[in-house]
Amino acid sequence: MPPPPLIAFAHVGKSFADGRGAQPVRAVDDVSLEVAAGEFLAIVGGSGSGKTTLLRLANRLIDADEGTITVEGEDISSVDPIQLRRRIGYVFQSGGLFPHISVAGNIGITPKLQGTPAPEIAARVDELLDLVRLDRALYRDRFPHELSGGQRQRVGVARALAAKPRIVLMDEPFGALDPLTRDALGDDFRDLHRKLGLTTVMITHDMTEAILLADRIAVMRAGRLLAQGTPAQLAGSGDAYVSELLRTPRRQAERLNVLLPRDGAA
Ligand SMILES: Nc1ncnc2c1ncn2[C@@H]1O[C@H](COP(=O)(O)OP(=O)(O)OP(=O)(O)O)[C@@H](O)[C@H]1O
């Protein structure tokens, strides 16, 4: 028998009141999705398709209207949200760092809230800076505004890992970065995912990034889960929207093959 999934959504729905008296927005609509232990899942979809809402439902930043979500086998509706969030690392789109707290303070914030003694926090911060490949001496005492976008995201990843979670949720973590930094950070995170035995769910707009980093991809549109599977399974899904999403990486790969000679072949 396969091991039970680490995260499971079963017929999950979430609507938001419009606020102007119009119909509520159906942000997530009857989504059933399982994430296995050790898996790297990407959620891909256009703006407003419900990706962030689905992610935030998993750590109870918001609560579902319908359906059941289990994390490590527990129905999260009966788990204290603060405890739950300490078991799940969360990386925000633009780092989400506290601007008036140093890099070390940002990374150590969860252990501090958990009452970890200061020397242990300091050691953990150094370990995490090494893990995300930021020079301790240079970056430990800087403030977020003294960092590049890529460095901020590295700190965001370190902070998400501080309480040693098994699960990491990432909301478009590399979206705002230049392509080289994005590539380097994606590769580094993929290595961390493997080395630490994490289970990762990452939102991205970019199908190419999803194909390159994730084991499996879930495609959302208008709150619904349209398709899920490995890139090869998606390619065979036959869904017109999924085919459209796959067209760009495919065309780019073909064009690059023609235009860009391999090293030494020019
Ligand atoms: N707190 C909220 N109140 C009202 N409507 C909301 C709220 N959060 C999300 N929505 C609506 O729910 C829908 C899904 O939003 P969501 O942020 O989940 O999409 P997304 O796929 O993550 O989009 P993006 O890629 O632009 O971040 C959108 O129509 C959005 O306007």
pLDDT in tens, the chain (266 residues): 667 899 999 999 999 987 666 788 999 999 999 999 999 999 999 999 999 999 999 999 999 999 999 999 999 999 999 989 989 999 988 778 999 999 999 999 999 988 999 999 999 999 999 988 899 999 999 999 999 988 998 999 999 999 899 999 999 988 878 888 888 888 989 998 999 999 999 999 899 999 999 999 999 999 999 999 999 999 888 888 999 899 888 888 888 888 887 776 55
Query: How far apart are the C-alpha atoms of 131 and 121, rounded to whole Å?
Result: 15
- In the chain, how many H helices and how many E strands? 11, 10
Task: Check residue 34 and give left, alpha or beta (phi > 0: left; psi -120 to 50: alpha).
Answer: beta
Question: How much is the pTM?
Answer: 0.91
Q: How far is the CA of 253 from the centre of ligand 1 (A)?
A: 31
Shortest-distance Cα residue to atom 2 of ligand 1: 16
Q: Tell me phi and psi for residue 263, to 5 degrees.
A: -50, 130
Question: In the beta sheet, which residues pair with residue 169?
Answer: 90, 201
- Ligand 1 pocket check for 213: Cβ under 6 Å: no
Ordered structural domains, the chain, with CATH: 7-259 (3.40.50.300)
Q: Which atom of ligand 1 is nearest to the CA of 62?
A: 1
What sign has the CA pseudo-torsion 63, 67, 71, 77? positive
